[in-house]
Structure 1
Amino acid sequence: MELEKSKYEGIFIINQKGRRNLVTKNLTPGKSFFDEKLYKINNEEFREFNPTHSKLGAAIIKRISLIPIKQSDKILYLGASHGYTPSFVSDIVGKNGVVFCLDFAPRVVRDLLGICEERENMIPMLADAKKPETYKTRITEVDVIYQDIAQKNQVEILLKNLQFLKPKGYAMIAIKSRSIDVTRHPQRIYQEVEDKLKDKLKIIDKKELDPLQKAHCFFVCQKK
């Protein structure tokens, strides 16, 4: 079993018996929250990051040019759900970083609470991302906004939340074309999304995530 660094900060690759798996260094050694496999290498523990369970993981497999999440960063995560991908973002930013984990569904936030109790850098927030005025006093300026919200107005939600992003900060958004319009070709929807994003953001890269995440496109952008 061999460990190698990827080109993305905080993301590693484990080579084992011909298989290459994405992993992150476990911020809470000995604890697995989603039955993910744990690896011990050189007295350090790593968690397997499954790209079929995460748009971020899928974008990494698709070799997106930049994942701007770094150690000690502050992240606003819109659409945190049960916390799978946010927990790996938590590993990357480390104990000096912060992940504001926002979701509007009480049931999933209850699940999220269990992880946040174990990870001090994850802050759960029950709130509606369409209404940033309701939580603007609860978060600080952030280095990165990450959004995974499968709604028709998902682009508009991101643009509303740019008020929290520092100058030259980064925004990542996973677009689910079927949530915008199930009748239209995904590529047309992705182009329209790009045109809307360009009003406020510089597009760094985009990758379609099929077959890992069907009918999804992942954008990495920077605030102008």
Structure 2
Amino acid sequence: MSLPDGVQRRAIDGEEALATRGEPVYGEGTDGEWRRWDLRRSKLGAMLEMDVDTGLAGGETVLYLGAAAGTTVSHVADFAGPTYAVEFAARPARDLLDAAEPRGNLFPLLKDARKPETYAHVVEPVDVVVQDVATRGQARVALANRRFLRDDGRLLLSVKARSEDVTGDPDAVFDEVLDSLAEGYEVLSARGLEPFHDDHLAVVARPK
């Protein structure tokens, strides 16, 4: 498995796990400066564990959409370059600020990922957009934020079927999202995230 620089496999709490070097955020186990990356709380972590070709090498400039309380984006900031973390809900954003405090490269933005024009004056061109937004219209969010991606950049999208259609067949939902994404992206890979996350599809794409 190829991991980005700054992500390692470590024995933590008696079990081998992915880990990054940084201050703990959500009560995760540690081994010295290294902190366990909880794959059941992180779609991107699950993607790396499942050897999805994310294209991440370490040091990238990242736009993270749907940062919530900072569980995953804090790990990203541990191995990436400048990391812009967009979160709309005020309560998790307060925890996100705490996660950012010891990370000088993590920039929380209390904004709506569906309205990129509200943070376009802050975010520089990025190498990677990581999207984990639990809302209807996940493809539209990805398309709206395509403006920030460099031509050779990557979209790492976690599609949550139940957020698109709580009663719909997940496979049908995923097909609709992929069809919509094709308006602005070339999909490089798409696979389910079981057993770590049910009814989620991991998508790697690049801008057309």
Q: Deviations over 1:164-210 (max 9, x none)?
A: 11112100111010111122211111112112212211212112112
Q: Secondary structure at the match of 1:175?
A: strand
Residue matched to 1:36: 28
Give deviations 1:16-56, integer Å, cap 9, x for gaps. 798431112x1x4xx3221111113xxxx321111101001
Residue aligning to 1:3:
none
Percent of residue pairs bearing the same amino acid type: 33
Gaps of 5+ in 1: 1-5
SS, match of residue 140 in structure 1: coil
Query: In structure 1, what is the equivalent of residue 179 of structure 2?
Result: 195
Q: How many angstroms apart in 1 are the aligned matches of 2:27 and 2:178?
A: 36
> Over aligned residue pairs, what C-alpha RMSD do you find?
1.7
Aligned runs of 1:76-95 on 2, under 5 Å?
Answer: 76-93=63-80
CA deviation string 1:74-126 (max 9, x = no partner): 10101000001001101121xxx111001111111111111111110100101
Pick aligned residue for 1:74 from 50, 53, 61 = 61
Choose the corresponding residue for 2:4, options 3, 9, 12: 9
User: Does the 8 Å contact 1:21/1:49 carry over to 2?
Assistant: yes
Q: What displacement does 1:70 show?
A: 3.1
Q: Match of 2:162?
A: 178
Is the partner of 1:52 in helix, strand or coil?
A: helix
Q: Is the 8 A contact 2:131 2:142 kept in 1?
A: yes
1:134 aligns with 2:130: no
Cα deviation 1:140-169 (Å, max 9, x = unaligned): 111110110011111101100101111121
- What is the Cα deviation at residue 60 of structure 1? 2.1
Moved more, 120-129 or 55-64: 55-64
* Deviant stretches of 4+, over 4 Å: 15-18
SS in structure 2 at match of 1:212 = coil
The secondary structure found in structure 2 opposite 1:205 is strand
Between the aligned partners of 1:81 and 1:126, the Cα distance in structure 2 is 10
Q: C-alpha distance in 2, partners of 1:212/1:17?
A: 19
Instruction: Indicate which of 124, 129, 146 corresponds to 2:130.
Output: 146
Q: Is the Cα contact below 8 Å between 2:25 and 2:70 reproduced in 1?
A: no
Structure showing greater radius of gyration is 1
DSSP 3-state at the match of 2:69: coil
What amino acid does structure 1 have at the position aligned with 2:18? L
Could you tell which deviates more after superposition, 167-176 or 194-203? 194-203
Contact 1:69 1:92 in 2 (8 A): no
16 and 143 in structure 1: CA distance in 2 versus 1, 3 angstrom threshold: closer
